[in-house]
Amino acid sequence: MKPFPCSLLFCVSLLFSDVAHATYHLKAGDSRLKTAQSYAQTRHNAQPVLRTLNPAKTDSPCRSRPLDLVFIIDSSRSVRPAEFEKVRIFLANMADTLDVGSDATRVAVVNYASTVKIEFLLKDHFNKLNLKKAIARIEPLATGTMTGLAIKTAMKEAFTEKSGARPRSGNISKVAIVVTDGRPQDQVEEVSAEARASGVEIYAVGVDRADMQSLQLMASVPLEEHVFYVETYGVIEKLTSKFRETLCGLDPCAMGHDCEHICINSNASFYCKCQSGYVLNADKKTCSPKQARAEVVEDPCKCEAMLVFQRQTQATIQQLTAKHILPVVLNGRQIEHLENMLGRA
- Which domains, from first to last, does the chain contain? 67-247 (3.40.50.410), 251-291 (2.10.25.10)
Dihedral sign from CA coordinates of 97, 102, 105, 107: positive
Peptide bond into 289 cis (omega under 30): no
Q: What is the pLDDT of residue 105?
A: 93
* Single-letter residue type at 241: S
Q: What is the pLDDT of residue 297?
A: 56
- The rounded distance, in Å, linking the Cα atoms of 43 and 32 is 16
pTM more than 0.85: no
- Check: CB of residue 45 under 8 Å from CB of residue 234: no
Q: What is the pLDDT of residue 14?
A: 39
- Check: CB of residue 107 under 8 Å from CB of residue 125: yes
Q: What is the pLDDT along the chain (345 residues), one digit of tens a residue?
A: 444 444 444 443 433 333 333 444 444 455 444 444 433 333 333 333 222 223 333 334 455 578 999 999 999 988 888 999 999 999 999 999 888 999 999 999 999 999 999 999 999 999 999 999 999 999 999 789 999 999 999 999 999 999 999 998 888 999 999 999 989 999 999 999 999 999 999 999 999 889 999 999 999 999 999 999 999 998 898 898 888 877 776 556 665 678 999 988 765 567 899 999 899 999 988 999 988 655 555 555 666 777 777 787 777 777 777 766 655 555 566 666 666 665 555
- The rounded distance, in Å, linking the Cα atoms of 174 and 328 is 91
